[in-house]
Structure 1
Amino acid sequence: MEPTELNSKKSAPPATVSFYEKHKKIYIRDVKGWWNTWRWVFVWFTQILFYGTPWLLWNDRQAVLFHLVERKFYLFGLVLWPQDVFYLALLLIISAYALFLFTAVAGRLFCGYACPQTVYSEIFMWVENRIEGDRSARLKLDKGPLTARKLRLKASKHAVWLLISIWTGFTLVAYFTPMRELLAALPFDFSGWELFWILFYGGFCYMQAGFLREQVCKYMCPYARFQGVMFDPDTLVITYDPERGEPRGARKKSADTTAGRLGDCVDCGLCVAVCPTGIDIRNGIQYECIGCGACIDACDPVMDKVGLPRGLIRYTTENALAKHFSLKDVVAHVVRPRILLYTVILLGIVVASAWSLASRVPLKVDVIRDRSILAREADDGRIENVYNLKVMNTTEEPKRYALSVEGMDGIEIVGERIVAVDSAENHEVTIVVRVPPESGKKGANTIYFDIKALNHDAIAVHEKASFLMP
């Protein structure tokens, strides 16, 4: 080897290795079928629920409102206060167990049908298809030069996307600020925070559903990363049957696959063209798969055309595919101890939460002893303590409450013993409690306040407090 050649090889720069895949825009082909129909059923259901709920009224107020300014959550006839944060914890626990259960049974059902990223991507792609045309038309449009027609179509599409995004942000804020106030503030009288969250949420909706789409599912969503620990060989997932489909190859409808030594897969590529994340399901189970079933809807009609049975791509389990289980065996393996345990725990938490809400007393009382006056002697020689009572009426109608106290001999409330509180309001009242000097020991003595709603015996609270004797 010549010295010049040796020196050139030594000085050659090292090859650059990229850890990031270059993004390629996915042009998804429209597909019709059973799974696509169900996907649109969930799109309609979730969006009617999301956009319609803030318009519902209950007792002349918004039926569902998380009013942060008033620090109250209204859920139809239920009013939750900051002291009810326990129910928020229960809701999170129920959501977590439901996620574990559904994922263990049938994989990423939530991702494929109810996830906001999937739902809004479907809506944005529908708008794109109606304005720019089908897959081939969009490919041709993007590759072509910038013409007046291209500019008009692109501008129309983005204008509709922006309108949907802004209205989505407006609707989200309507869950935290009453819809009536937001409508009265149109178009430019919003507060700073309201305007910020409308634009913030609307901007993310526009960006993620319009541009990022599958990148959110593949790179940003944490669920795609840890879902593998929830799967097992008996989890229902979308799978391709390689034993039946390989080797791939095109053939005529009347061709004998056994004679040509070909599998059932005709290698048409439709399963890849309709996939919202751009994967090839024939390469096996992949974390990018969101379980939407679009590849099944694309493959089954092809099997019909070539005269082969459906199910080359289908919902099944790894064990069922490898061991050729019957439908009865698949059901038996899906209903396994792990699933039964999740179900029992989830039902137990749901029932306990429902019982707790149903038996919840719609009255909350905080008793705070006035620390500026530990104890004082009245004109008649009795000992007084002063208390501040915060009475929270969590019902939707005004209430009058009777106050009483017990726990020491001769103890009584001085002055008015009836408190009136408006519906869903918090009323603070200062009361004076007296006892004879001989009725308690020196220091702290335990007493109890009873607050009962007049004409509502079931609405009553028994609160513990301390009475200080000098």
Structure 2
Amino acid sequence: MSANAPEQPQPDNGDTGSLYEKHKTIHARTAHGRFANWRIFLVLFTQLLFYGTPWLMWNDRQAVLFHLVERKFYIFGLVLWPQDVFYLAILLIISAYGLFLVTAVAGRLFCGYACPQTVYTEVFMWIENWIEGDRPARMKLEKAPMDARKLRIKATKHALWLILSVFTGFTLVGYFTPMSELLTELKTFSFGPWETFWTFFYGGFTYMMAGFMREQVCKYMCPYARFQSVMFDPDTLIITYDPERGEPRGTRKKGADPKALGLGECVDCGICVQVCPTGIDIRNGLQYECIGCAACIDACDEVMDKVNYPRGLIRYSTENAMARHLTKKEILGHVVRPRILLYSVILAAITLTTAWFIAHRIPLKVDVIRDRGALARETDMGLIENTFTLRFMNTDEQAHRYRIKATGLDGLEVGGAAEVDVPAATTTSLMTSLQVQPDAGKKGSNPIMFEIEAMDGSNIRIREKAVFMLP
């Protein structure tokens, strides 16, 4: 056939190929080193916070409780009501801005050390390693036929996973229902329907995502992996492989001079791939699947120590640092750049402003509701009277007694109850009336002001607008 002959069309056999890659179980090797130690510390720290916080007490109640039934959020000494949802929105904004700042500085550092998916996957892998052994033992067990020993090992592992998952769901529910109530219900197996649902729902997802899906959550489900590139720039710290130093790869004897062999310092052992929880090869460059856990750095440093080469073949660096061969000091200098300063200033401003408002927040809210049934009436003394309902919301954890005054019209006086006791963290309604001479203002509506002041010296004082009707 001539070299210039047109290519003959191939018969269509109907096989278009698979649109999705077949999932392969990743048996990650255990990494040891300084970053692994940091990861262990943060896993223990975050889980101590999560599992321990619902058991903390504050003023004879649960310290952190988002009580949906009472519609109150208790955060140590702070009590937030539905009217304070603004503060919760600001908290979410601060958290998002903090995540953006960390990403701009050091990439997916949150993913590698504190993300719940990473943390629970790590805990589940600890259990897996304890029951089944390290990577070679797990791979051997996976290929072995099902027998009594394999069934016993697998059943033990999954039983521990399930216990941890259900306890995790139980703890989550403990943030919304007081732990004291949950323990009472647990003793009698009388959980409410929603407590039961969320315990097993969250526990089931923990079991599924940390035990089975693992890296698939990071690779296919997490949106953060997709939009992180928007927050990266050439001076963002990422995990990088140094190709100038490592290439070409090849095996050699311990202590051999790579230059004499025409090789780079990468011994092509593949351990950096074996320890990766998402199964990527960092030597192929930055990939969106990389969660920044630094397991490959620990593994590579350990190999470099064994072959007597300097550490840092895989390391935290930046695109500019690799291209321009910057020193560590120069890299740190590039970290403090206008973009980071802007993020930091905005985050600090939002945080400090919110803290100031919370610190100076008046722990009293009052709603003034006019009596719509009778706008005004004349008393036996010839005075004009308007009736109001005052709804007091004491957001403090201390009971207060308040005095009620009214201003805005000459001779305006409180004709009904002028004092009220409001228990701690509760709402109280009070019906009272205001009286004034018929000629004290113009006909129709007259703006007035209710002044409510604490009588116990707590310096709580607020003013609320209202309208007084004169016939």
**Where on the TM-score scale, by shorter chain, does this alignment land: which range?**
over 0.9
Aligned pair 1:368/2:343, yes or no?
Answer: no
C-alpha deviations, 1:59-85, integer Å up to 9, x for none?
Answer: 111111111111111111111111111
SS of the residue 2:104 aligns to: helix
Distance 1:121 1:321 in 2: 32
Q: What is residue 95 of structure 1 aligned with on the other side? A: 95
Distance 2:32 2:466 in 1: 67
Kindly indicate whether the alpha-carbon contact (under 8 Å) linking 2:219 and 2:225 is maintained by their aligned counterparts in 1: yes
Distance 2:68 2:32 in 1: 44
Deviates more, 1:12-21 or 1:43-52: 12-21
Residues matched between the structures, number: 464
Q: Amino acid of the residue matched to residue 142 of structure 1?
A: E
C-alpha deviations, 1:142-172, integer Å up to 9, x for none?
Answer: 1111100100011100000000000000000
Aligned pair 1:207/2:197, yes or no?
Answer: no
Q: Which runs of 5+ in 1 are unaligned?
A: 2-7
Kindly indicate whether the alpha-carbon contact (under 8 Å) linking 2:417 and 2:431 is maintained by their aligned counterparts in 1: no
**Superposition RMSD on alpha carbons, in Å?**
1.4
Q: What is residue 342 of structure 2 aligned with on the other side? A: 341
C-alpha deviations, 1:80-131, integer Å up to 9, x for none?
Answer: 1111111112101111111111000001111011111011000000000000
Q: What is residue 148 of structure 2 aligned with on the other side? A: 148
Distance 1:408 1:55 in 2: 53
User: How many angstroms does 1:413 deviate by?
Assistant: 1.3
User: How many angstroms does 1:469 deviate by?
Assistant: 2.4
Q: What is residue 27 of structure 2 aligned with on the other side? A: 27
Q: What is residue 446 of structure 2 aligned with on the other side? A: 445
Aligned pair 1:289/2:290, yes or no?
Answer: yes
TM-score of the aligned structures, taking structure 2 as reference length: 0.96
Aligned pair 1:106/2:106, yes or no?
Answer: yes
Aligned pair 1:196/2:197, yes or no?
Answer: yes
User: How many angstroms does 1:438 deviate by?
Assistant: 1.2
SS of the residue 1:433 aligns to: strand
Distance 2:177 2:328 in 1: 51
User: How many angstroms does 1:11 deviate by?
Assistant: 5.5
After TM superposition, the structure 1 = structure 2 runs for residues 103-142 of structure 1, keeping only pairs within 5 Å, are 103-142=103-142
After TM superposition, the structure 1 = structure 2 runs for residues 225-304 of structure 1, keeping only pairs within 5 Å, are 225-304=226-305
User: How many angstroms does 1:442 deviate by?
Assistant: 2.4
The runs of at least 4 consecutive aligned structure 1 residues that moved more than 6 Å come to none
User: How many angstroms does 1:340 deviate by?
Assistant: 0.7
TM-score of the aligned structures, taking structure 1 as reference length: 0.96
Deviates more, 1:15-24 or 1:123-132: 15-24
Distance 2:17 2:333 in 1: 48
Distance 2:255 2:208 in 1: 48
Q: What is residue 86 of structure 2 aligned with on the other side? A: 86
User: How many angstroms does 1:387 deviate by?
Assistant: 1.3
SS of the residue 1:272 aligns to: helix
Q: Amino acid of the residue matched to residue 410 of structure 1?
A: G
Percent identical across equivalent pairs?
66
Alignment CA distance shift 1:63-1:457 (3 Å): closer
User: How many angstroms does 1:373 deviate by?
Assistant: 2.4
Q: What is residue 165 of structure 1 aligned with on the other side? A: 165
User: How many angstroms does 1:255 deviate by?
Assistant: 2.0
Q: Which runs of 5+ in 2 are unaligned?
A: 2-7
Distance 2:144 2:247 in 1: 38
SS of the residue 2:65 aligns to: strand
Aligned pair 1:311/2:312, yes or no?
Answer: yes
User: How many angstroms does 1:321 deviate by?
Assistant: 0.6
Q: Amino acid of the residue matched to residue 38 of structure 2?
A: W
Deviates more, 1:232-241 or 1:351-360: 351-360
Q: What is residue 4 of structure 1 aligned with on the other side? A: none
Distance 2:119 2:165 in 1: 13
